[in-house]
Chains A and B, each alone.
Chain A
């Protein structure tokens, strides 16, 4: 174990010296841990009023002043990270001179890789962006609306595979992506299998039912498209709330779907005024029903798919850092300490 000599402190005095000392590094290490834990104990990203209500006027304001509501992206947390990175950099630079064997090279590489991961995450924070979008099956979305100009995404199909127990096994969207240069990419996106193109990555995130119908009036029909569970405001303070039942069970008559498949699609419609539930009717597809004074037609349904669209140049850097880290770990821990005889290793 002659690693010890690599940790001997640098020459000289002042800030640079203390910044490059391992004692400072150790303090920073534990400080970062302590601060990170705070971020998991204090709820992040809530409304301003939440903190005042939860922690009292004084403590709440204090937490907000120091950005404890967005701790991991606050200036002082990032500064702490930068100082830590400088510490690792200075420490490693001194040790590079003293690298004598694969083992000590591995250790330096390991430290250096942390810097690469850190740089990658800063790059992600500055240049990366991601946005969520819901697209109905057969529709095309212009991705410039969510910040990715030049891209158009068409969802050709969406399907769910089930286990025997009707628990979902996989969600898959079949898509066509068109970029600004006119390149067409046809692919399937499922959970754990995102679509990766040169610039964009698109992830399967969620899904749901979209229903289509009409309010029938004397002066003509008012069409609607509602996501399952949504409400529609009608005239006179009335609210229409819908629930899609894909596999309605006429025997029990309750709103619990027998299976998740659209074997017997029905739309349950509730008419609400203020707090009061006026009436509920269940309409089969293609039918029309009167609820109080409102006549509703249930025309059709389709899936929508929820996709996360992302562009993040930092990820490649981070992965590069991971690769170096693995290489460093292998050199550091898989090579025997210098001076060990082979017989000892076998033992």
Chain B
């Protein structure tokens, strides 16, 4: 069942990308509606897949890299859809859906067997730690998409893709809004992780590569928020920082697990 829901989500995400692209080429109200509903249904399918997995394993799907990768895609889609409240953009929907497709494709290559919780993971901190990470990463994923939109809009204000986009100032302020949501949650990821590490390993901070890179991520977004005030880094520079920040997020999540061994590395 879970596999069916995942496949449905995957297909719907492709349909989202295709309809958004056709809309950009030939704008049409029906296509606009379709692309939104495809994305919303993809989100629902992904939610059902995760619920199905929770039922099958008798616990929340928080315990393996496979599970966290799907949650990650879920979080990004959540924020992309949430932003519809602020403004609607087919380019944003397309980029967000594409991001989710890439993450899910990678997730599908990971071992998907349902495993019981090992002793280290049996802690209430698992829930707090993972939930805050999903929110922080979802918001950072959104700000990266907005950063890309910003650069597109800046390059081609009134032609091509740029035409359909809201003005740069609007993009910039929404990007700031999403970083300002992600940052406190990232702080919570670090705090819950530290308290957990103190309970399970007896060291609240041990410079394990995953911890170190989580701290670097945090420093970068702190830099984003501060440089806005000090240097007035809005717009282009802020957009580039949001994109770089998210690349570091991806490295923390996937790169560290693959390349840098540590206590966290099986995550």
Interface residues of A (CB under 8 A from B): 3-4, 7, 22-23, 25-26, 29-30, 32-33, 36-37, 39-41, 44, 72, 121, 130, 163, 165, 167-171, 190-194, 201, 203, 205, 308, 310, 315, 318-319, 322, 325-326, 329, 332-333
Instruction: Known contacts A29-B223, A40-B209, A333-B180; decide if A191 and B230 are in contact (CB<8 Å).
Output: no
Instruction: Known contacts A33-B219, A315-B204; decide if A192 and B229 are in contact (CB<8 Å).
Output: no
Q: Are A26 and B226 in contact (CB under 8 A)?
A: yes
The size class of the interface chain B forms with chain A is: 35 or more
- A25 in complex: contacting residue of B116, B184, B194, B226, CB < 8 Å: B226
Contacts of B201 in A (CB 8 A): 203, 308
* A-B residue pairs in contact (CB < 8 Å), sample of 7: A30-B219, A39-B207, A169-B122, A191-B200, A322-B195, A326-B188, A333-B184
Residues of chain B in range 203-249 having any CB-CB distance to chain A below 8 Å: 203-205, 207, 209, 212-213, 215-216, 219-220, 222-223, 226-227, 229-231
Instruction: Known contacts A36-B215, A308-B202; decide if A171 and B119 are in contact (CB<8 Å).
Output: yes
User: Could you tell me the distance between the alpha carbons of A121 and B191 in the complex, rounded to whole angstroms?
Assistant: 14
Check B199 for interface membership: any CB of A closer than 8 A. yes
Contacts of A23 in B (CB 8 A): 230-231
Distance in angstroms from B24 CB to nearest chain A CB is 29
User: Could you tell me the distance between the alpha carbons of A205 and B198 in the complex, rounded to whole angstroms?
Assistant: 13
Contacts of B216 in A (CB 8 A): 33, 36-37
Contacts of B220 in A (CB 8 A): 30, 33
Q: Are A168 and B118 in contact (CB under 8 A)?
A: yes
A-contact 0/1 string along B144-170, CB 8 Å cutoff: 000000000000000000000000000
For B215, give the chain A residue with the smallest CB separation.
A36
- B212 in complex: contacting residue of A3, A36, A319, A325, CB < 8 Å: A36
Pairs of residues from A and B, 10 with the lowest C-beta to C-beta distance, nearest first: A191-B119, A33-B219, A40-B209, A203-B202, A192-B123, A33-B216, A163-B116, A22-B230, A40-B212, A308-B202
- A194 in complex: contacting residue of B118, B119, B202, B207, CB < 8 Å: B202
Check B82 for interface membership: any CB of A closer than 8 A. no
Q: Are B223 and A30 in contact (CB under 8 A)?
A: yes
Contacts of A33 in B (CB 8 A): 215-216, 219-220, 223
Interface residues of B (CB under 8 A from A): 115-120, 122-123, 180, 184, 187-188, 191, 194-195, 198-205, 207, 209, 212-213, 215-216, 219-220, 222-223, 226-227, 229-231, 256, 260
Contacts of B204 in A (CB 8 A): 315, 318
Contacts of A7 in B (CB 8 A): 229-230
Q: Are A22 and B229 in contact (CB under 8 A)?
A: yes
- Main SS of the interface on chain B? helix
Contacts of B117 in A (CB 8 A): 169
Q: Are B184 and A167 in contact (CB under 8 A)?
A: no
Distance in angstroms from A314 CB to nearest chain B CB is 9
Contacts of A318 in B (CB 8 A): 194, 204
Q: Are B212 and A37 in contact (CB under 8 A)?
A: yes
Q: Are B213 and A40 in contact (CB under 8 A)?
A: yes
Q: Are A169 and B119 in contact (CB under 8 A)?
A: yes
For B117, give the chain A residue with the smallest CB separation.
A169
Contacts of A329 in B (CB 8 A): 184, 187-188
User: Could you tell me the distance between the alpha carbons of A193 and B220 in the complex, rounded to whole angstroms?
Assistant: 34
Contacts of B207 in A (CB 8 A): 36, 39-40, 44, 72
User: Could you tell me the distance between the alpha carbons of A130 and B203 in the complex, rounded to whole angstroms?
Assistant: 9
Distance in angstroms from B72 CB to nearest chain A CB is 21
Distance in angstroms from A28 CB to nearest chain B CB is 10
User: Could you tell me the distance between the alpha carbons of A121 and B256 in the complex, rounded to whole angstroms?
Assistant: 24
Knowing that A29-B226, A191-B200, A329-B184 touch, tell me 7 more A-B residue pairs with CB under 8 angstroms.
Answer: A4-B229, A7-B229, A39-B212, A121-B205, A192-B122, A194-B199, A333-B184
Q: Are B213 and A37 in contact (CB under 8 A)?
A: yes
Distance in angstroms from A40 CB to nearest chain B CB is 4
- A32 in complex: contacting residue of B118, B195, B219, B230, CB < 8 Å: B219
User: Could you tell me the distance between the alpha carbons of A56 and B234 in the complex, rounded to whole angstroms?
Assistant: 44
Contacts of A121 in B (CB 8 A): 205
Distance in angstroms from B197 CB to nearest chain A CB is 11
Distance in angstroms from B180 CB to nearest chain A CB is 7
User: Could you tell me the distance between the alpha carbons of A190 and B199 in the complex, rounded to whole angstroms?
Assistant: 10
Contacts of B230 in A (CB 8 A): 7, 22-23, 26
Contacts of B198 in A (CB 8 A): 315
User: Could you tell me the distance between the alpha carbons of A308 and B123 in the complex, rounded to whole angstroms?
Assistant: 19
Instruction: Known contacts A308-B202, A329-B184, A333-B180; decide if A26 and B223 are in contact (CB<8 Å).
Output: yes
Distance in angstroms from B80 CB to nearest chain A CB is 20
Contacts of B231 in A (CB 8 A): 23, 26
Instruction: Known contacts A171-B119, A190-B119, A319-B195; decide if A130 and B202 are in contact (CB<8 Å).
Output: yes
Distance in angstroms from A178 CB to nearest chain B CB is 21
Contacts of A26 in B (CB 8 A): 223, 226-227, 230-231
For A132, give the chain B residue with the smallest CB separation.
B202
Distance in angstroms from B53 CB to nearest chain A CB is 17
User: Could you tell me the distance between the alpha carbons of A33 and B230 in the complex, rounded to whole angstroms?
Assistant: 19
Contacts of B222 in A (CB 8 A): 29
Distance in angstroms from A158 CB to nearest chain B CB is 13
For A323, give the chain B residue with the smallest CB separation.
B191
Q: Are A168 and B212 in contact (CB under 8 A)?
A: no
For A168, give the chain B residue with the smallest CB separation.
B119
